[in-house]
Amino acid sequence: MKVVSTANAPAAIGPYSQALDLGNMVFVSGQLPVDPATGVMPEAVEEQAKQSLANIKAILAEAGLGMENVVKTVIFLADIQDFAAVNAVYAEAFVQPYPARSCVQVAAIPKGAKLEIECIAVRE
């Protein structure tokens, strides 16, 4: 098992890794929509979705993978009413066949974010 870490995504804010590489699978921790260069989180949920997905893409790149390797995602929303807006951004980040996905509303997300996204990717 190898720890995946990049300065191109926000550092972990607790006792966890950005991702773990098991050789054929990479497990990416939930990514908040924080810009790693500035530490700033956008206001709009669409921009937050773009940033969280960009953070995932950076971590996958560090592991030598891309978004096309993602097989499963989980999206945590602070407000399920944001589902359609997030879904539109998400659709631009992936191509068919789309990853399996869960999307749920949660009581709260760290740092007051409107969403958090995690994923699992595989090497073929």
Number of alpha helices (DSSP H) and beta strands (DSSP E) in the chain? 2, 6
Residues 6+ apart with CB under 8 A from 47: 33
Rounded to whole angstroms, the Cα distance separating 28 from 10 reads 12
Q: Which residues are catalytic?
A: 103
